[in-house]
């Protein structure tokens, strides 16, 4: 009921200040200003990101590590190194792993994340259709009330 009253007041103010709003304008404004739609969009975006993270669990892991160590020479060894008092040692390690058999845990987790993202996408579309339906109903109620 409060949405009807606010729609009547909103359209009444609009009618006095500007040309009347069309049904398409009212629906577009309702869709753009709906906090429920914005919340559903954020939930869907998060679910899509989470499914992207879940797929990374199926990928191989690669690590690259590097190290440098510096060792000093004592005074007796100084002449044999031709004036260089330190020796640098470098080490570079590349390793990789890929978990092959995990009982399907990661695969099913990925499928679950994708299903959750799909469900939230459908919930978003449902909320959009509900907002459109409320906007159309309120528009026609305002038209009916302005004729009497």
Q: 3-class DSSP state for residue 32?
A: helix
pLDDT tens digits for range 79-136: 444 555 556 677 888 888 888 788 888 888 889 999 999 999 999 999 999 999 999 9
Cα–Cα distance, 110 to 112 (Å, whole number): 5
DSSP letter at 58 equals T
pLDDT digits (tens, 9 = 90+) for 107-119: 888 899 999 999 9
pTM higher than 0.75, yes or no? no
> Is residue 60 a contact partner of residue 98, using CB atoms and an 8 Å limit?
yes
Residues pairing with 95 in the sheet = 63
- C-alpha torsion sign, points 2, 32, 117, 51: negative
Which of 71, 72, 64 has its CA nearest to residue 89? Answer: 71
């Amino acid at each position: 009921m409060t949405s009807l009253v606010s729609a009547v007041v909103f359209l009444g103010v609009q009618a006095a200040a500007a040309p009347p709003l069309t049904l398409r304008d009212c629906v577009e404004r309702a869709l753009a200003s709906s906090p429920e739609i914005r919340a559903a969009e954020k939930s869907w975006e998060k679910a899509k990101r989470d499914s992207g993270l879940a797929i990374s669990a199926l990928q191989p892991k690669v690590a690259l590590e590097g190290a440098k160590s510096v060792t000093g020479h004592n005074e007796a060894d100084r002449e044999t190194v031709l004036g260089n008092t330190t020796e640098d040692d470098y080490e570079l390690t590349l390793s990789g792993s890929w978990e092959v058999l995990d009982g399907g845990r990661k695969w099913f987790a990925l499928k679950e994340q994708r299903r959750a993202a799909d469900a939230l996408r459908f919930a978003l579309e449902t909320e959009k259709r509900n907002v459109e339906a409320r906007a159309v109903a309120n528009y026609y109620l305002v038209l009916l009330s302005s004729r009497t």
